[in-house]
Structure 1
Amino acid sequence: MLVLLAFIIVFHITSAALLFIATIDNAWWVGEEFFADVWRVCVNNTNCTEIDANYKDYSTVQAVQATMILSTILCCIAFLIFVLQLFRLKQGERFVLTSIIQLMACLCVMIAASIYTDRREDLHRNNVELYSLTSDGRYGYSFILAWVAFAFTFISGLMYLILRKRK
C-alpha cells in the first residue's frame, strides 16, 4: 500500500509540474522566427508583445488563461486535500473529495486546450501584422504538455476513486 501511495504522490506532483510548465512557458505555437502562447507573442526572440485588451480575440485568450490557471490551482488544492485526508479520514471514506477536485482540474485543462485548438488560427490571424509569421507555425511543447497534463490529471482522479476502495 505504501508503494501505491508513493506512486500516486509522484504522479500527482508530476501532473502539477506539467500544468505549471504548460501554463507559464511561451511555446504553445512556434515557428522559425516566433513563438506564442496565451500570455505573449515573441518575434525573433527579442520583440515580445504582451497579449492585452488591444488583442482582437482577447476574451478567448482570457478564457484559456483562466482555465489553465484554475486547473493548476485545483491540482495543487487536490494534493493538499489528499495529504490532509490521508491522515484524517478512516478507510473507505478517503480521497473522494480529492478525486472530484482532480477531475475538475482535468476538465479545466481540457477546456483550455480545446479552446486554444479550436481558436488558434483565429487568434493569430486577426492580428494582421503577425499573420505571415503565425501561418507557418506548429503546436509547441507547452501545448502538448497541456494535453499530457489532461491525461495525467484524469488518470490521477480515477486512481483516487480506485484507492478509496482499498483497505
Structure 2
Amino acid sequence: MLVLLAFIIIFHITSAALLFVATIDNAWWVGDNFSVDVWRVCRNNSNCTEINESFSDYATLQAVQASMILSTILCCIAFFIFLLQLFRLKQGERFVLTSIIQLMSCLCVMIGASIYTDRRQDFHNNNAEYSSYMMEEGRYGYSFILAWVAFAFTFISGLMYLVLRKRK
C-alpha cells in the first residue's frame, strides 16, 4: 500500500508540474523566429509583446488563460486535500473529494487546450501584426503538448483516487 501511495503522490506532483509548465512557458505555438503562448508573443526569443485588449480574440484567449490557471490551482488543492484525507478519514470515505477536485482540474485543462486548439488559427489570422509571420511556418509547441499530457495525467490521477478509496 505504501508503494501505491508513493506512486500516486509522485504521479500527482508530476501532473501539477506539467500544468505549471504548460501554463507559464512561452511555447504553445512556435516557429523559427517566434514563440507564442496564452500570455505573450516573442520574436527572436527576446522581443516579447504582452497580449492585451488590442488582440482581436482577447476574450477567448482570456478563457484559455483562466481555465489553465484554474486547472493548476485545482490540482494543487487536490494534492493538499489528499494529504489531509490520508490520515483523517476512515476507509471508504477517503479520496472522494480529492478525486472530484482532480477530475475538475482535468476538465479545466481540457477546456483550455480545446479552446486554443479550435481558435488558434483565428488568433493568428485576425491579428495583422502577428499573422504575417506566424501562420505559415508555425507548429504546436511543447507547452501545448504538455497541456494535453497534463489532461491525461489528471484524468488518470482522478480515477486512481476513486479506485484507491476502496483499498485497505
2:88 alignment counterpart: 88
1:142 alignment counterpart: 143
2:152 alignment counterpart: 151
2:7 alignment counterpart: 7
- Residue 27 of structure 1 deviates from its aligned partner by 0.1
Q: Provide the rounded CA distance (Å) in 1 between the counterparts of 2:46 and 2:78.
A: 38
Identity of aligned residues (%): 81
Q: Could you say what secondary structure the match of 1:42 adopts?
A: strand
Counterpart code for 2:34: F
Q: Provide the rounded CA distance (Å) in 2 between the counterparts of 1:67 and 1:129.
A: 26
TM score, norm. by length of structure 1 = 0.99
Cα RMSD between the aligned structures?
Answer: 0.6
Q: Provide the rounded CA distance (Å) in 1 between the counterparts of 2:22 and 2:73.
A: 13
1:120 alignment counterpart: 120
TM score, norm. by length of structure 2 = 0.98
- Residue 132 of structure 1 deviates from its aligned partner by 2.1
Q: Provide the rounded CA distance (Å) in 2 between the counterparts of 1:105 and 1:6.
A: 21
Q: Provide the rounded CA distance (Å) in 2 between the counterparts of 1:45 and 1:14.
A: 27
- Residue 36 of structure 1 deviates from its aligned partner by 0.1
Q: Which runs of 5+ in 1 are unaligned?
A: none
Counterpart code for 2:85: Q
Q: Provide the rounded CA distance (Å) in 2 between the counterparts of 1:71 and 1:129.
A: 31
Q: Provide the rounded CA distance (Å) in 2 between the counterparts of 1:14 and 1:46.
A: 29
- Residue 133 of structure 1 deviates from its aligned partner by 1.3
Counterpart code for 1:104: M
Q: Provide the rounded CA distance (Å) in 1 between the counterparts of 2:113 and 2:140.
A: 11
Q: Could you say what secondary structure the match of 1:48 adopts?
A: strand
Q: Provide the rounded CA distance (Å) in 1 between the counterparts of 2:100 and 2:8.
A: 15
Q: Which whole-Å deviations, capped at 9, do the CAs of 1:66-104 have from their partners, x for residues lacking one? A: 000000000000000000000100111100000000000
Q: Provide the rounded CA distance (Å) in 2 between the counterparts of 1:28 and 1:7.
A: 29
1:166 alignment counterpart: 167
Counterpart code for 2:90: K
Paired residues in the alignment total: 167
Q: Could you say what secondary structure the match of 1:55 adopts?
A: coil
Q: Provide the rounded CA distance (Å) in 2 between the counterparts of 1:127 and 1:47.
A: 17
1:131 alignment counterpart: 131
1:101 alignment counterpart: 101
Q: Provide the rounded CA distance (Å) in 2 between the counterparts of 1:100 and 1:161.
A: 9
Counterpart code for 1:158: L
